[in-house]
Structure formats: structure tokens, C-alpha cells
């Protein structure tokens, strides 16, 4: 009945955990949520107000496929202000979340059978976007010793005749690791020398905790790469479904044709609301939240380390910790299901992010209130003690 590609799309294990969590909550239990990959904060008030205004003004029609010119110009200006990079507004494409951007780029770049390289572990939907256009997701195994990032040497060796490009994330999901500036320049050099495209997912770029970050966008390292970003994470707008890309000018007509056909336009109301995301009042809120996430990262990392759990790389960004639980003797899926079933703590198993060393790792998202973080640490301590693996 359905196409074979459906066999290739794995369900998220975390969904089962979320269902378990929900049923515990319905039974009156307090569940600690470390599994959710979105900010727990509501969208900043100035953005919500701008959304209301957009509705009141009747801005409810399709917009241009690549987005409203005001927002494209505002984002281009943001790169100037934040990263010191001059970007022509014509290179900015507004998308339906970074997800919309990912589909546009795989459709733009890949012929059937061509490969896009990506890290394992990594953001799980990436390989689905590649598969949907009959491309091949090529996995680059990354481990803690390399800070969970691809090295230029590995990229060069892994590049094959069918490889069309590479998609990296910085900060990365699920590890939160950031690509250093020198390494980034070398990675881009490899892709370009090989005649391929370099795609950088910067959806967590606003959530870097090292002040100031080494660079504010990969575009500052090389202006000719493809950059994906979104209003979902730093700007706290997950449900508004809005993102953007910066693309080389040479492909903008092709992207426009694809965007017209696949999406017609991104959400009009979300776009007008997002204009307010860059206003000082909203930026102040985003910045406060970034600092709040940094404190939570430290709280959670210290608490888990004190319990003897290993965090091989203390991440510089995003809102995740990738924690090695191998010393417990349990595979990560078993660890996660026992933790939810017995202690009502929800954590995502490594298998949701790929195959490489997936049994060893679990992902904690610190998108949860500080007191829940403390409660979660307490419960995990109890669990490790009760299981005799603490």
C-alpha cells in the first residue's frame, strides 16, 4: 500500500517514552521531563503582541514564496550587527522552520542516489529529508575524543564519487558541541575542493554559552556556504513554524521555484510577528533566557557528574547533555525505559540520534524548570542506588 521509503523511517523511541510520561501524569504522578527539544519558556511578549497586531491588520494572506521583504532585510541586517557579515537580503530565504529549509536544500542539491554526509549521532530528521528525494544519507561517526565533531581529515577520506555535500550542525543536536573556527574553515575547504556543498545548521547558534562565541555565524568564516537557522530555539517560537536560510545568490531562483511549489509561502502571521523578535525589548528576553540555559547546563552537568555519570564533552551550546551511561551495564534504551517506568524521569536514548555508540548514550534536554532539574537529579541518584550501579 505505502511506499518502500516508509520502511526506512524509524519511529522516535522518545515518542513511546512521552506516551508513558503522559500516562503517568494522567495517573497523578509528577514526571520530570528531560526529553523535550524545545524551550519551556513561552514566546517573548513583544513577538506575541506583534502576532496579535498582524492578525488585527488582516495579514492573513499568502506572502511571497521567499518571505516578506521586511523580514529578509531584517535578518540580513542581523548578520551585519551580530556577526559583522554583510549579507544581501536576496540571499535570505524565509522557510517553514529549519525543517522547511532542510527539505528545500535536499531537493535543490541531490539527484537520486547522490549522498549527503552527516554526523552520527545527529539530528534524526536529516536523513529523512535526504531519503525523501531518493538521496543517500552518508554517516560520519563522531565520538567524544573529537568533541563529537567531524574532523576535516575524516570528511576528506569519507568523500566518495556520489557525495554531493555535507551537512553539519553547530552547536549540534544531540551533543551540544560547537565546531571551532579553524576546523570549520578546514571542513569548508574540503567540501569546496571536492566540488560539493557545505551546509551548516545553525539553529542553536544563538544558544552558545561561551562569551563571546568564537564566531557568530559560519558565514563569517566563508560567505559562500548554505546556512540554516530558525526562530524555534533561541527565539522561542517552535510552534510558529518559521525559519530561514542564507544561500548563495546563484541558486536563489531555483530555491524560489522549489519554495513556490512545495510551500507557496511561509506563515504570514509568523513572519510579521518575527519582525519583533529582533527589537531590543525581545532581544533582551532572548539573552536573559540564554543565560538561564547556561545556569541550567551547569546545574544539570554538576548534578549528574556528582552521581558518577560521565559527560565526556561539556557542551558549549544548544540545551542538551549527551551522557555516557555505559558503566551502568544497561543499554541506553533499557536505562531510559526503567527511568521513566520506575522513577518518572524522561530521558531520550541515543538510538534516536543514529547508530554509532547509541547504546552508550542518553540525551538530557535542560528545557525544564530548575526545580525539576534538581528533582530529576535526586530521582536518578535514587535509581542508581537502588539498581546498585551508582
Pick between residue 106 and residue 173 the one whose CB is nearest to ligand PLP.
Answer: 173
Residue in this structure with the C-alpha cell 495579514, named with its chain if needed: 59
Pick between residue 104 and residue 384 the one whose CB is nearest to ligand PLP.
Answer: 104
Pick between residue 102 and residue 383 the one whose CB is nearest to ligand PLP.
Answer: 102
* Cell numbers describing residue 289: 533566557
Pick between residue 31 and residue 203 the one whose CB is nearest to ligand PLP.
Answer: 203
Phi, psi of 22 (to 5 degrees): -65, -40
User: Across the beta sheet with 361-365, what order do the strands follow?
Assistant: 320-324, 361-365, 348-349
Instruction: Locate the DSSP E strands across the chain.
Output: 32-33, 92-95, 115-120, 136-141, 163-169, 197-201, 226-230, 243-246, 320-324, 345-346, 348-349, 361-365
Least Å distance between CB 8 and ligand PLP? 19
What whole-number distance in Å separates Cα of residue 100 and Cα of residue 64? 15
Pick between residue 272 and residue 343 the one whose CB is nearest to ligand PLP.
Answer: 272
DSSP codes joined into one string, 190-231: HHHHTT-EEEEE-TTTT-B-SSS-S-S-GGGT-TTSEEEEES
CA distances from 191 to 42, 149, 277 (A): 39, 15, 33
Least Å distance between CB 201 and ligand PLP? 5
Least Å distance between CB 12 and ligand PLP? 11
Least Å distance between CB 248 and ligand PLP? 20
Is the preceding peptide bond at 133 cis, omega within 30 degrees of 0?
no
Pick between residue 169 and residue 218 the one whose CB is nearest to ligand PLP.
Answer: 169
Least Å distance between CB 39 and ligand PLP? 11
Count of CB atoms situated within 10 Å of the CB of 321: 26
By CB under 6 A, name the binding residues for ligand PLP. Answer: 37, 97-99, 123, 169, 173, 201, 203, 230, 232, 238, 243
* 122-128-131-135 Cα dihedral, nearest 10 degrees: -40
Least Å distance between CB 99 and ligand PLP? 3
What whole-number distance in Å separates Cα of residue 106 and Cα of residue 128? 10
Q: Which of 172, 272, 268 is nearest to 228 (CA)?
A: 172
Which residue in the shown chain puts its C-beta closest to ligand PLP? 97
Are the C-beta atoms of 197 and 108 separated by less than 8 Å? no
Residue in this structure with the C-alpha cell 555535507, named with its chain if needed: 166
Pick between residue 126 and residue 344 the one whose CB is nearest to ligand PLP.
Answer: 126
3-class secondary-structure state, position 7: helix
Pick between residue 97 and residue 196 the one whose CB is nearest to ligand PLP.
Answer: 97
Pick between residue 101 and residue 376 the one whose CB is nearest to ligand PLP.
Answer: 101
Pick between residue 37 and residue 381 the one whose CB is nearest to ligand PLP.
Answer: 37
* β-strand partners of 138: 117
Amino acid at each position: 500500500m505505502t511506499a518502500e521509503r516508509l520502511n526506512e523511517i524509524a519511529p522516535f523511541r522518545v515518542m513511546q517514552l512521552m506516551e508513558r510520561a503522559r500516562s503517568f501524569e494522567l495517573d497523578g504522578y509528577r514526571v520530570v521531563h528531560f526529553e523535550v527539544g524545545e524551550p519551556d519558556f513561552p514566546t517573548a511578549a513583544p513577538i506575541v503582541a506583534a502576532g496579535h497586531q498582524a492578525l488585527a491588520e488582516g495579514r492573513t494572506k499568502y506572502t511571497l514564496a521567499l518571505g516578506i521583504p521586511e523580514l529578509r532585510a531584517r535578518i540580513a541586517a542581523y548578520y551585519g550587527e551580530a556577526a559583522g557579515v554583510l549579507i544581501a537580503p536576496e540571499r535570505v530565504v524565509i522557510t517553514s522552520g529549519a525543517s522547511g529549509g532542510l527539505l528545500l536544500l535536499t531537493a535543490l542539491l541531490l539527484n537520486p542516489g547522490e549522498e549527503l554526509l552527516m554526523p552520527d549521532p545527529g539530528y534524526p530528521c536529516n536523513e529523512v529529508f535526504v531519503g525523501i528525494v531518493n538521496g543517500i544519507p552518508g554517516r560520519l561517526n563522531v565520538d567524544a575524543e573529537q568533541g563529537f565533531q567531524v574532523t576535516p581529515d575524516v570528511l576528506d577520506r569519507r568523500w566518495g564519487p556520489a557525495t554531493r555535500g555535507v551537512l553539519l550542525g553547530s552547536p549540534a543536536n544531540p551533543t551540544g558541541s560547537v565546531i571551532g573556527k579553524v576546523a570549520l574553515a578546514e571542513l569548508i575547504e574540503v567540501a569546496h575542493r571536492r566540488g560539493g556543498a557545505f551546509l551548516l545548521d545553525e539553529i542553536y547558534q544563538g544558544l552558545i554559552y561561551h562569551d563571546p562565541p568564537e564566531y557568530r555565524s559560519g558565514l563569517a568564516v566563508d560567505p559562500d556556504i548554505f546556512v540554516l537557522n530558525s526562530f524555534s530555539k533561541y527565539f522561542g517560537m517552535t510552534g510558529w513554524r518559521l525559519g530561514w536560510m542564507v544561500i548563495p545568490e546563484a541558486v536563489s531562483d531555483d530555491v524560489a521555484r522549489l519554495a513556490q511549489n512545495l510551500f507557496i509561502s511561509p506563515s504570514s502571521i509568523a513572519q510579521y510577528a518575527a519582525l519583533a523578535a529582533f527589537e531590543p525589548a525581545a532581544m533582551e528576553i532572548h539573552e536573559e533566557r540564554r543565560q538561564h540555559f547556561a545556569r541550567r547546563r551547569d546545574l544539570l552537568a554538576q548534578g549528574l557528574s556528582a552521581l558518577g555519570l560521565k559527560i565526556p564533552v561539556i557542551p558549549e551550546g544548544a540545551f542538551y547533555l549527551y551522557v555516557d551511561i555505559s558503566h551502568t551495564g544497561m543499554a541506553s534504551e533499557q536505562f531510559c525505559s526503567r527511568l521513566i517506568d520506575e522513577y518518572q524521569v524522561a530521558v531520550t536514548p541515543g538510538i534516536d540520534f543514529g547508530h554509532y555508540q547509541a547504546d552508550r548514550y542518553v540525551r538530557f534536554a535542560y528545557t525544564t524548570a530548575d526545580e525539576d532539574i534538581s528533582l530529576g537529579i535526586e530521582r536518578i541518584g535514587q535509581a542508581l542506588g537502588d539498581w546498585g550501579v551508582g
